[in-house]
Chain A
Amino acid sequence: MSSSATSPPESSESVTRKSSKKKRPWRYYNILLHRYQGYLFLGTTVVYAISGLAVNHMEDWNPNYSQQRQTQTLAPLADPENLTPAEGAALYSAFGIGQSFNPENVFYPDEHLIDILIASDEKIRINTQTWQAEHERTVRRPVLHLFNFLHLNNAKKAWTLYADIYAIALLLMALSGLLMKSGRKGVWGEAGLWTLAGMVVPLGLILLYYR
């Protein structure tokens, strides 16, 4: 039996569907690429954008840690290089530290300073000239620290590979966005004008600052 005798004849509708599937223009795949990359890398883009804002203003604030400081004036210590347990307890009490005086370490950074390291994130610095003591607690910013850790590639290793993939994806997203404009002029029309307009400010700033 011939195959034409066993298989049902194709309807004109399914033939049209098949042929239209084959004839999909490259712009269709361009839109798919743009769309699905957008979905896939949305989370990473949020991380990089928020961290970018945070680290851009590093001169004005600490994007990774918040530091809580309080200052007290102390009575001069009898022997600054040998704090007694009673002096230590009084010092802790002055700053409301509710634990017994058992610091991780005591350092003498220079002639007039004593650093009492309570924990890696908490210390008291005493100036033996002014007898001013500063208690400093460093608290990691919960979300931003993580975002900056990723954005600045502090992890290195496999994150470098992921960041490379993301960079390529960004490039493809930009190019596929540019090529998305249909019409007679395509990229040479409105899309091109917007692209050029977007380059004006960066170019101006380059001319202004780049030496």
Chain B
Amino acid sequence: MKDKLEALLREGAEKIQSAKNEAELQEIKGYLLGKQGKVTEIMKEIPKLDVSLRPEMGKAVNNVKNLLQEQIEGRREELKMKASEISPDFDYTLPGIEPQIGGLHPITQMCYDLNDAFRSMGFEIFHGPEITSEYFAFDKLNFPPNHPARESMDTYWLEGHDSGEANEKLCLRPHLTGGSVRYMKTHKPPYRFVYPGRVYRNETTDARHERAFFQYEALIVDKDFTYTAGKVMIKSILSKVFGQDVPVRMRAGFFPFVEPGFEIDMGCLVCGGKGCSVCKHVGWIEIMPGGTPHPNVLRAAGVDPDEYTGFYVNIGLDRLVMMRYGVDDVRLFHGTDLKFLGQFR
């Protein structure tokens, strides 16, 4: 009988350890300790024994029973700790729940990226009025009196304010440079500031032309600032915004408010300068005009052009965003379509 008990103890221990979950364990418990269980079976044999042996065997059976009981409880604790609260058919491959967030307009995003880059170089941010007089839209900027842009075909003049002297004629600003003059008039050089904002042109629209679009003007006025330093500035800014080294070239260009004036190109990031449809196979993309502020502009702002010079660029934000994301229609920016705007995080 002792042998039987020992065998049962071994068998029981093995079975208990092999239980994979509580249900299995419960079954094993029944098999070992239940009313028809193995222990009970042995227990029933005790009355058949010699009286003198009964107490000892009774003890031994109880001992085994307790040992098994303990092992079962131990195993039960173990299984409890291991078990998941969720059933095993949980599907970890289901898509994640996206955080519900809105978004900034892609042009605002670009604008903030540039702000961060320029601010890291000590630039201030400036904002000015969108309705301006002809005086600040053109006269202050060295636009000759017969410049085509002054005519209504290009500028939105305000009803009831579309004739008279230059300081009486009012329009939606056709560019930001006049606003820059406002800054210069109210600050003392040297200075460096950026001026992001929307401008308006009375034009026929298509995929590449808009009546309202965004410019980002940056201006440094300082003593003896050479255009080659300007090139370094542009390169640093673009490289920070695009997160890679961006080649920049400056070539001859003409704008009334700069002298010398440049067309500034950046290396095409789509093809790496090899030539592709985005850059019309030249490897360069015209990105902004720039140059040294024209002495007449500095003078208009009350700055002595013999003492001060500087560097100016006017970045077309719409075009930069189009380049960044491959957007092919400039009108989407003012189109208020959330299916478009929601794409930019």
* Co-assembled chains A and B: no
Residues of A within 8 A of B (CB): none
Residues of B within 8 A of A (CB): none
